Amino acid sequence: MARPLSEAKRQAILASAVRLVASMGVGAPTAKIAYGAEIAEGTLFKYFANKDELLNQLYVTIKAELGATILEGFAPHAGIRERGWHIWSRWIDWGADYPLKRQAMRQLRVSERITQASKEAGHTAFHDVSAAFQQAHAEGPLRDQPLAFMNASFEALVETTLEFIARDPQRRDDYKQAGFQIFWNGVGS
Amino acid sequence: MARPLSEAKRQAILASAVRLVASMGVGAPTAKIAYGAEIAEGTLFKYFANKDELLNQLYVTIKAELGATILEGFAPHAGIRERGWHIWSRWIDWGADYPLKRQAMRQLRVSERITQASKEAGHTAFHDVSAAFQQAHAEGPLRDQPLAFMNASFEALVETTLEFIARDPQRRDDYKQAGFQIFWNGVGS
Amino acid sequence: MARPLSEAKRQAILASAVRLVASMGVGAPTAKIAYGAEIAEGTLFKYFANKDELLNQLYVTIKAELGATILEGFAPHAGIRERGWHIWSRWIDWGADYPLKRQAMRQLRVSERITQASKEAGHTAFHDVSAAFQQAHAEGPLRDQPLAFMNASFEALVETTLEFIARDPQRRDDYKQAGFQIFWNGVGS
Amino acid sequence: MARPLSEAKRQAILASAVRLVASMGVGAPTAKIAYGAEIAEGTLFKYFANKDELLNQLYVTIKAELGATILEGFAPHAGIRERGWHIWSRWIDWGADYPLKRQAMRQLRVSERITQASKEAGHTAFHDVSAAFQQAHAEGPLRDQPLAFMNASFEALVETTLEFIARDPQRRDDYKQAGFQIFWNGVGS
DNA sequence: GATGAATGAGAATTCATTCAT
DNA sequence: GATGAATGAATTCTCATTCAT
């Protein structure tokens, strides 16, 4: 079935879901999500067959958006540190600028309702980001661990850094630097 | 007193909650938790006034248990790296040995139902662990960032490491070493 | 609008509530009320946000209906006794004809769940009935007591009379006369 | 089964029930009643086989106490008005002095849980009060109505009067006079 | 006899989803 | 296609009553 109707409404539903999942978790009622999107309760189910599908698409969509955002302006031939910093920097900026999306992701990540398929789709969307790590990985001291482990550590530190920025936005830049330093030193030389 | 509230039952409820929250999130029904604890639905509410209280006590209890476990055998006068390794090691072992508790914590950490007070109680229970970090922090390159930031990074890397161990238990020791290495290099020299 | 909230259903709920509250008091389960209205349990809450609201609206609705019924055919310029008798007569007839509504009111009147606001709304609905008493009051021997006291005495005697009519409907007219006589003599000359 | 154990405890339960039924209606939980009586939840059921029995005994007890109170100092050979006034006066005083008992009775009177037997026992306890009315009744204009009707009117006006005294205790005596006047004029020649 | 933990049948809501309009 | 009323299973919590201590 081709995507029905208004793309604007679809986006409104996703945007409303971001807000509600961020604050209430995946238990946020579909009726509230619909209300936040200014559509009727039943209309939501024209766009998403059921709540699980909405949640999964939300997950994949945010992940894809983040992936694309990170890669904007990425210089594949820059030095390894520059590439790492680019990813770190854009990721942090995205998370600090869209705290609700970040919060929603936090909830979705731990939810049993996100299928394996969605997680894989998320990885796919992140493919280029992962690729950018490969060289660094191959050369670093973690070369015997899966690339995924380095990726995950990076992400964990991004998450930690964003948590602190969220609590204390004034020091955004300090945290951004400090977090990257831990990562870079950590996996480096 | 007719019959005192049985500590065994209280533990059974918490243990059942660990299992169900780990797999279903905080939306796990109290009826299922009670069933898992082999008590009647109503009995649960003799032990915990309501679901929120159960969830919060679960959070604090696990956190306290983890804190105590980490500190067992801790040598306060050992070298700084030894102390760091002790904490890392015991934390990883705990998480690898009790994957359900770790999973439950993951859910509880992001839940809106865990009160500020519980989070603070969790910190208190973790006080000695935090203290053990202080010297390392004062001397390291992160001395201008809050100690909490270093702690959180440590925890984030523990979490990441445990995630990988859970997926691939055979390589438990490899991950354990690799994760610590990232942290130690990251915040070190 | 998909389907408007059906006024017929709303009335069916209120009618069912009348029956159940009359016989079981305000403890009558919403599930039974819904069943009696031939709707699903959940549907009731589309019409009334919660049980208290149902109970309060029931109170106000019955009171308003009674007020309107009493005033039908009221001749404001008739003699004072005629006016009093009109009110008495219509009130008694209403109570005798709708014993369940009367019984429900008995329950609602003593319930802690009826808010002050509803009681005031009830008075408002009864405003014209009260007004009809004013002249009688101003001239009678109770002029030094609040009008409300005379009103309440009237109502108490109506209630008593209806109680007897309910037990012994054959003598409806006797009781109707006797009750009014007590009131009229009581507050009169 | 003879009445077990401490009469003091039995009274404490009834006293606690008065308070709770007055404020919460017959839905007041037995656990709260027990707590108010400073006994254990289960102990209540040693004194009253079940909640209905407690409620019914409460009804009969209050009614009996009221009956006895009214008759204290009653002069059977006084004039008819004096006898009526005596009853009125003592009843009003009792109700004004024990507002919780009066409130509890209001709730019990409309409850489906009070059996016919209890109502009859209540009448029995009131027998002497009723008897005092008989002569007045036989002589008055209501002689063609059941004595019970006159009794009930009296009680209804007592109730009304007490309601007003409860709201405005300062005017206790005014209301007391006014209420009796309505009754006396009402049923008198 | 007193206690209060244990029980499980309700009770009032809530909510994803369907379907008449 | 959009709407939101309708549904009823599921959820949290309450409460009278029993019974082990």
Residue numbers in A 26-65, CB below 7 Å of strand F: 39-43, 45-46
Least confident interval from B50-54, B128-132, B172-176, C23-27: B128-132
To the nearest whole Å, the CA of B105 is away from the closest chain A CA by 10
Q: Which nucleotide is nearest to C2 (CA to C1')?
A: F3
Q: What is the pLDDT of residues C150-178, one digit of tens each?
A: 989 999 999 999 999 999 999 999 999 99
C157 close contact with D: CB closer than 8 A:
yes
Residues A56-82 have a mean pLDDT of 91
Contact status, residue D66 vs residue D90, Cβ threshold 8 Å: no
Quick one: tokens of D57? 């005994």
Separation CA A87–CA B157 (nearest Å): 19
- Partner-chain residue, chosen from A106, A178, A181, that has the shortest CB–CB distance to B110: A106
Amino acid (1-letter code) at residue C1: M
Separation CA D164–CA D173 (nearest Å): 11
Separation CA A62–CA A98 (nearest Å): 11
Residues C61-71 have a mean pLDDT of 93
Contact status, residue C60 vs residue C118, Cβ threshold 8 Å: yes
Q: pLDDT at residue A127 above 60? A: yes
To the nearest whole Å, the CA of A152 is away from the closest chain B CA by 6
Chain A residues in contact with B152 (beta carbon < 8 A): 160, 163-164
Alpha helices in A72-171 (DSSP H): 80-97, 99-110, 116-125, 127-139, 147-167
Residues D34-61 have a mean pLDDT of 96
Cα D14–chain centre separation: 14
Q: What is the pLDDT of residues B22-31, one digit of tens each?
A: 999 999 999 9
- Partner-chain residue, chosen from B26, B144, B157, that has the shortest CB–CB distance to A156: B157
For residues B165-174, one letter each, b for 16 or more C-beta atoms within 10 angstroms of the residue's C-beta and e for the rest, the string is beeeeebbeb
Which pLDDT belongs to residue D103? 96
Q: Which nucleotide is nearest to B2 (CA to C1')?
A: E3
The reply to whether the CB atom of residue C35 sits less than 7 A from any atom in nucleic acid chain F is: no
Contact status, residue C178 vs residue C161, Cβ threshold 8 Å: yes
Separation CA D99–CA D47 (nearest Å): 25
Q: What is the dihedral of CA D166, D172, D177, D179, to 10 degrees?
A: -10
Residue numbers in B 150-189, CB below 7 Å of strand F: none
Which pLDDT belongs to residue D2? 47
Per-state percent for chain B, helix, strand, coil, to nearest 5: 80, 0, 20
Q: pLDDT at residue C188 above 80? A: no
Contact status, residue D187 vs residue D150, Cβ threshold 8 Å: yes
CA A175, A179, A185, A188 torsion: positive or negative?
Answer: negative
Q: pLDDT at residue D1 above 60? A: no
The whole-model pTM stands at: 0.92
B6 close contact with A: CB closer than 8 A:
no
Q: Chain A residue closest to B106 (CA)?
A: A110
Least confident interval from B61-65, B148-152, D160-164: B148-152
Contact status, residue A104 vs residue A43, Cβ threshold 8 Å: no
Q: pLDDT at residue D5 above 80? A: no
Separation CA C32–CA D100 (nearest Å): 32
Q: Chain C residue closest to D104 (CA)?
A: C110
User: Would you call B107 and A110 a contact, using CB atoms and an 8 Å cutoff?
Assistant: yes
pLDDT-derived band of residue A103, with 50, 70 and 90 as boundaries? Answer: very high
Of C33 and D129, the structure prediction assigns the larger pLDDT to C33
Chain A residues in contact with B187 (beta carbon < 8 A): 182, 185
Least confident interval from B147-151, B185-189, D40-44: B185-189
Separation CA B160–CA B163 (nearest Å): 5
Residue of B27, D171, A57 whose CA lies nearest to C145:
D171
Quick one: tokens of B185? 């290099």
Q: Do chains D and A touch (3 or more CB pairs under 8 A)?
A: no
Amino acid C73 CA to nucleotide F13 C1' distance, rounded Å = 51
User: Would you call A111 and B25 a contact, using CB atoms and an 8 Å cutoff?
Assistant: yes
Using the C1' atom of nucleotide F15, identify the protein residue whose alpha carbon is closest.
Answer: D29
Give the whole-number percent of chain C exceeding pLDDT 90: 71
Of C49 and D127, the structure prediction assigns the larger pLDDT to C49
- Alpha-carbon radius of gyration of chain D: 18
Q: What is the pLDDT of residues C73-107, one digit of tens each?
A: 888 888 888 888 999 999 999 999 999 999 999 99
Alpha helices in chain C (DSSP H): 7-24, 30-36, 44-47, 51-71, 80-97, 99-109, 116-125, 127-139, 147-167, 172-187
Quick one: tokens of D158? 């007592």
What spatial distance separates the first Cα and last Cα of chain D, rounded to whole Å? 51
Residue to substitute from B109, B149, B170, B171, interface A, most A β-carbons within 10 A: B149
Which pLDDT belongs to residue B187? 82
